[in-house]
A and B are shown apart, each in its own frame.
Chain A
Amino acid sequence: MSAPRSPAAATAIAIFVIVAFATPVRGLWARDAGPWWLPFIAWVPAVVALAWTARAPR
């Protein structure tokens, strides 16, 4: 997949991904049950998104 075309686009995408995942992260944090590593799982797509957006031109 090609990189975002501008810094602003990269930032917008990264923020969207983080917000999109931060909300379930919070929800996952508040769960009493389930695998203990679940709160981390939503973080990974954000890191992947950041790695992808880092290729945007400056």
Chain B
Amino acid sequence: MLSPATLLALTVGYLGALIAIARVGDRWPPARALSRRPLVAALALGVYATSWSYFGSVGFAAREGWRYLAIYVGVTASCALIPVMWAPLHRLVRERQLGSLADLLAFRYQRPAVGAAVTGFLLAGSLPYQALQLRALVASVDHLGGAGAPIDVAWLISGGLVVVGVVTGARHPSLRDRHDGLVLAVAFESVVKLVALIAITLWALVSVFGGPAGLDRWLTAHPEQLAAMARPARDGDWLTLLALSAGAAFLLPRQWHLAFTESAGEGGLRATGWVLPAYLVVLTLAVPPILWAGRALGLGGDADFYVLGLARASGSPLLAAVVFVGALAAATAMIVVTTVALAAMAQNHLGRPATAWAMRGDPYRRLRWLRRGLVAVIILAGHAVYLGLRDRAELADLGLVSFVAVAQLVPGVVGVLWWPRASGAGALAGLAIGAAAWAALLLAPLFGADVGVLAALGVDGDPWPATAALTLGPNLLAFVIGSMVWPPRPAEVDAAATCARRPGVAAAAAVTAGSPDELAARLAAVLGVGTAGREVDRALADLGLGRDERRPGELRALRDRVEHNLSGLLGPLPARAAVDDALPLDPDHALVLAQLRFVAEHRAAAEAPARELDLARRYLRRVLDDLPIGVATLAPGGEVILWNPAMTTITGVAASGATGLPTAALPPPWGEVLAGFAVGAEPRAEVTLPGVRPRTIALGRTELGPGALVGAGAGGVILLVEDLSDERALAAQVAHQERLASIGRLAAGVAHEVGNPLTGVKLTVANLRRELADPDVRARLDLVLAAGDRIDRIVRALVGYAHAGDAARGPRGPVELAPLVADAITLTRLTRAGKALALAAAVPAGLRVIGDRPQLEQVVVNLLANASDASAPGGAVEVHARADGDRVVLEVIDRGAGMAPEVVARAVEPFFTTKPPGEGTGLGLALVYSIVVDHGGTLALDSAPGVGTTARVTLPAP
């Protein structure tokens, strides 16, 4: 029907078109962008449907009825697990640059043997599947071109696929660079095979049955056809097929490679969740009409190739060509992607000596050629298996052999995601037992070496439930028991923590290099100068850091990034070994905060592990909580969003009573103050709040940038509130002391200037008095002398006050208080004899202070004088003293008139007095204050009108 030349032209032309699409996809930016669109990435996962689906599904449906759907419904079930299974794996794989399932499991279990075992096992499981594709293509040529074509089509296909694989899938040695062309080509193939299958289905419906109604009539006339579809579904197992295909949907090397390694990001995964099931619904809908059309036409033979039989029966070379191209698409997509995926695994896990060779030269170039060589070797190995198998098994059986193989990796993946106590020893034990059972039960029979286990167990008919249970059951058991007997080593615990997105033991340690250049120099010892420099430059560019970086947190992130990038190039374990060797960590130097800062500053939120982001968030929250300044944020509508503890301290309004409320609804006076300030024009203000003790509050305001609140549009306002009352009181006190000191200096000058002329005046007046005999004049001169004496007392007091702190200072030493107080009381009794006061002292014997005795006596006398003057006749005045740590507290207590607060505030000012003119100089308490302060003590007055006054002096004890 199709000449050998046509078939050859179609084959070469199709493979050439694939290469062209891949080249365009790699080099032309719009095509590259198209390849990264989620829909295209999801369509590429249609690689799930291979020759097995294209041809074999019809044969499977002929034998197993509707059960063939389980293979595709299982994929739909797997897609339901994308958010909780595929997505976490995707994040881990992208973050750690793990290029394959073998890389992931080797990383999680920290054993090269795990990677090697997984790679070997997947190779063994995939090669029969590759053979299936070749067999389907050779059958296509036989059906459409006639047997005995002059070309060996299998070799032609294999040779062509080597070229396609090398060109499309091995361009980049590292996971960092996506093979956009490969993805685009595979997505194109998904469309081609679907279109071809729809075309032959439509032909069958129209030409064989005369339309859908004709099909219904034919089915009514042949009820045994629907019964044949229903019977196996009613009697047979379907859950096993569903579970096997659910696992295969992402664990098959080709699926893993396109879903994770060549991922288009999480958007691609989301699209896959529904695009792939929808694609498979359409694809599988074509199967029954093809099957029944084949039977209606009496095609006979193997239903696996009814698609080809119908194309032949159509007599249309065009339809035959379309079906042949569809077959090419189904087979080549599978072989190319699987081979590229297996080559990456083999390079990292089986080709260590070759990798070591690559590292001795230009590793990027050598690894690329190594990858290309492996692609060729694996395709040729598949060809060898095809030659060995020939026509020994049904297409669908060959596919299921691969499905059971990848199911053996499910326990290991469960350990990655959900069981941190799973160990590498357990994983290896499980895999070894599962692989051995798989080889004995499924692989050996393919090559005619059936050991007869199933027959011995009495399994007759459907072998899949039994083989799945006999391989996966012992595997799982060995995995669990092995993990319990040989628990994970520290490196595995650390890797398990990384997989669970928790910081591991080594996560906080600092790197032992002080700069990127030093880092590169150390790495050069392992990687060579050129590679080390290039990798450090790449990592610096990835992180947005400069060559002059010196911060430990950034350098640690740089080290990790280099390791991740190398993981994409060499595999996770060699990358870790190289980096650990060149750049050991210093566990004594923890960097938790530096790393948190780095996460907050540099990493996109979507990439950072949730745990690190949470720690960063809590750290920032703690900073906000511990700020001594009140901070509140307001939403654009004025609602309080954030209210820190300092805000509660300043306002007395708890966060729970503020957040969520409009600012104006806050308790007074804060509602009015903050709401007014938040919308005012001034960015800063100071307000005084009235009260018993007026408070000074400083307010600041700044706008939050747009988008600071998710979904809120405009950002809102930050308010800063600071209580300046204490600060202002302290400033007032300092100013007050400065004023007192100024008065002291003035007083000293006045006393000096007044004292000398006064002495002259007094002497002259005294002389005049002696010389004049007139009693009237002498009486008047007495008045002058009395006035002069009064001026003299004032001047002496002024001199005493002015010199209290310096000139009048005598020698200082321990002074016993009890006799000093007794003398002062005696003196006071003499001067206040008329008031008959009850003066009492309670001063412990031996209580001493450091000071100048005459000055201290002056202090007590002045305080007693004030207390006596304030007391009513017969009143009581008490003097108490006690030790208080390294201080001595002396209190003079009266129950007299007391003072109002405004009087207390000015009491120690010189010349401030409440006594009648002529009775007080206003210097007594000022002198007390001056002496006490000069002694390093303090003076406090507790007083209330009508209650009395306590003057409390503290002085240093010896």
Q: Residues on A close to B: CB < 8 A? A: 7-8, 10-11, 14-15, 17-18, 22, 25-26, 29-33, 35-37, 39-40, 43-44, 46-48, 50-51, 53-56, 58
Contact = CB atoms under 8 A, between A and B. Distances in A.
A48 B278 CA distance: 9
Contacts of B284: 40
B30 to A, nearest CB: 26
Contacts of B274: 47-48, 50-51, 54
A56 B285 CA distance: 29
B234 A43 contact: no
B281 A54 contact: no
Given A7-B84, A35-B216, A43 B76 contact: yes
A39 B66 contact: yes
B233 A29 contact: yes
B843 interface: no
Given A30-B230, A30-B234, A31-B230, A43 B273 contact: no
Please name the 6 residue pairs, one residue from A and one from B, whose CB atoms are nearest each other, closest first. A7-B83, A14-B80, A51-B274, A29-B233, A29-B66, A30-B234
A53 B238 contact: no
A29 B65 contact: yes
B230 A8 contact: no
B interface residue count range (under 10 / 10 to 19 / 20 to 34 / 35 or more):
35 or more
Contact of A58 (B266, B271, B278, B285): B266
A37 to B, nearest CB: 7
Given A18-B80, A32-B223, A54-B82, 7 more contacts: A7-B84, A15-B80, A15-B81, A22-B73, A39-B69, A47-B281, A51-B274
B227 interface: yes
B87 interface: yes
Nearest to B274: A51
Contact of A26 (B80, B223, B238, B277): B238
Contacts of A47: 76, 274, 277-278, 281
A54 B42 CA distance: 13
**Which residue among A10, A30, A37 has the maximum number of chain B CB atoms within 10 Å of its CB?**
A30
Contacts of A8: 83-84
B94 interface: no
Interface string B192-231: 0000000000000000000000011001000100110110
B273 A54 contact: yes
B48 to A, nearest CB: 15
A2 to B, nearest CB: 13
Given A32-B227, A40-B285, A50 B79 contact: yes
Nearest to A17: B80
Contact of B76 (A7, A10, A18, A56): A18
Interface in B277-328: 277-278, 281, 284-285, 288
Nearest to B88: A7
B230 A32 contact: yes
Nearest to A13: B80
Interface string B49-77: 00000000000000001110100010011
Nearest to A15: B80
B597 interface: no
Contacts of A33: 223, 226
Contacts of B73: 18, 22, 25, 43
Nearest to B242: A22
11 contacts: A7-B87, A15-B80, A25-B69, A29-B69, A29-B233, A32-B227, A35-B216, A36-B219, A43-B76, A43-B281, A51-B273
Interface of B: 65-67, 69, 73, 76-77, 79-84, 87, 215-216, 219, 223, 226-227, 229-230, 233-234, 238, 242, 266, 270-271, 273-274, 277-278, 281, 284-285, 288
B81 A11 contact: yes
A9 B534 CA distance: 44
B205 to A, nearest CB: 12
A29 B228 CA distance: 11
B823 to A, nearest CB: 85
Nearest to B69: A39
- Majority DSSP secondary structure for residues of A touching B: helix
B69 A50 contact: no
Contacts of B288: 36
A28 B80 CA distance: 22
A15 B223 CA distance: 34
A9 to B, nearest CB: 9
B264 to A, nearest CB: 14
Contacts of B81: 11, 15
Contacts of A44: 281
A4 to B, nearest CB: 9
B456 to A, nearest CB: 31
Nearest to B220: A33
A14 B246 CA distance: 14
A58 B82 CA distance: 10
A30 B66 CA distance: 8
Given A29-B66, A39-B69, A46 B226 contact: no
A52 to B, nearest CB: 8
Contact of B273 (A15, A31, A50): A50
Contacts of B82: 11, 54
Given A47-B277, A51-B273, A29 B67 contact: yes
Contact of A37 (B67, B80, B285): B285
B139 to A, nearest CB: 27
B715 to A, nearest CB: 22
Contact of A10 (B83, B219, B227, B238): B83
B156 to A, nearest CB: 37
Contacts of B79: 14, 50
A30 B233 contact: yes
A50 B80 contact: yes
**Which residue among B215, B234, B277, B288 has the maximum number of chain A CB atoms within 10 Å of its CB?**
B277
A28 B216 CA distance: 17
Contacts of B226: 31-33, 36
A11 B233 contact: no
B130 to A, nearest CB: 30
Contacts of A11: 80-84
Given A43-B76, A46-B76, A53 B84 contact: no
**Which residue among B76, B219, B271 has the maximum number of chain A CB atoms within 10 Å of its CB?**
B76
Contacts of B223: 32-33
Given A10-B83, A26-B238, A33-B226, A50 B76 contact: yes
A35 B219 CA distance: 9
A53 B82 CA distance: 10
Nearest to B288: A36
Contacts of A46: 76, 277
Nearest to B76: A46
Contacts of A55: 270
A36 B277 CA distance: 20
A7 to B, nearest CB: 3
Contacts of A26: 233, 238
Nearest to B225: A36
Contacts of B230: 29-32
A25 B277 CA distance: 15
Contacts of B67: 29
Contacts of B216: 35-36
Contacts of B84: 7-8, 11
A22 B77 CA distance: 10
A39 B281 CA distance: 11
Nearest to B272: A54
A50 B669 CA distance: 55
A32 B227 CA distance: 5
Given A7-B87, A25-B73, A36 B215 contact: yes
**Which residue among A25, A31, A40, A58 has the maximum number of chain B CB atoms within 10 Å of its CB?**
A58
A44 B82 CA distance: 18
A25 to B, nearest CB: 7
A55 B65 CA distance: 35
Contacts of B270: 54-55, 58
B234 to A, nearest CB: 4
A34 to B, nearest CB: 8
